[in-house]
Structure 1
């Protein structure tokens, strides 16, 4: 259980409260610096976004899924001909694999 504002909340209840959020929120955002389980924000106006940044989604896919295209394990960046993809991006098949894993 997690204590928040003096009231204990069971982890199972916390999971269902986050169920409508994108699973990429489980990792920190490399773009805006939002911590895990917090929404992404605009760095200029500090407004919160409803969807995570693409960089956060890529980081999440890299963390949870193997890539069927380049045959790498989780945490290893995708590559093409031995060179990492630019800006930490991942193959489209890895996104699909991550979505399947999250479901």
Structure 2
């Protein structure tokens, strides 16, 4: 069997690869600037990461899930007793992951 470098990937394989991607790829990464549906990368070396940055997971959870801790709706940032947080509560990430599964 001869493989060609420019041969297109079969759709069945391509779909299987997408199914394994973290659902946080649905949003752009605020840390490295990766576009939605593209993998995160290290800015200095350009190395592609297999997992999204925590900031991207937080942005995704904020966009798609309600927070069980502070009772905010999707797209609303989490808070601690009225003080804004830079990330979402861990339970909000769990809620988003449960919804995506």
Q: Are the structure 2 counterparts of residues 67 and 42 from structure 1 closer, same or farther at C-alpha, using a change threshold of 3 Å?
A: same
Alignment partner of 1:53 is 2:48: no
**1:100 aligned partner:** 98
CA RMSD between the two structures = 1.9
**Distance in 1 between the 2:68 and 2:15 partners?**
29
Residue deviations 1:28-74, cap 9 Å, x none? 00000000110000000111101000000000000110001100000
Specify every segment of 5 or more residues in structure 2 that has no aligned partner in the other structure, as ranges. Answer: 1-7
**Distance in 1 between the 2:61 and 2:99 partners?**
10
Q: Are the structure 2 counterparts of residues 15 and 68 from structure 1 closer, same or farther at C-alpha, using a change threshold of 3 Å?
A: farther
**Distance in 2 between the 1:58 and 1:17 partners?**
23
**Distance in 2 between the 1:46 and 1:93 partners?**
31
**1:70 aligned partner:** 70
Q: Which runs of 4+ in 1 moved over 4 A?
A: 13-16
Q: Are the structure 2 counterparts of residues 71 and 15 from structure 1 closer, same or farther at C-alpha, using a change threshold of 3 Å?
A: farther
| TM-score, L = length of structure 1 | 0.81
More strand by share: 1
| TM-score, L = length of structure 2 | 0.83
What number of residue pairs does the alignment pair up? 92
Specify every segment of 5 or more residues in structure 1 that has no aligned partner in the other structure, as ranges. Answer: 1-6
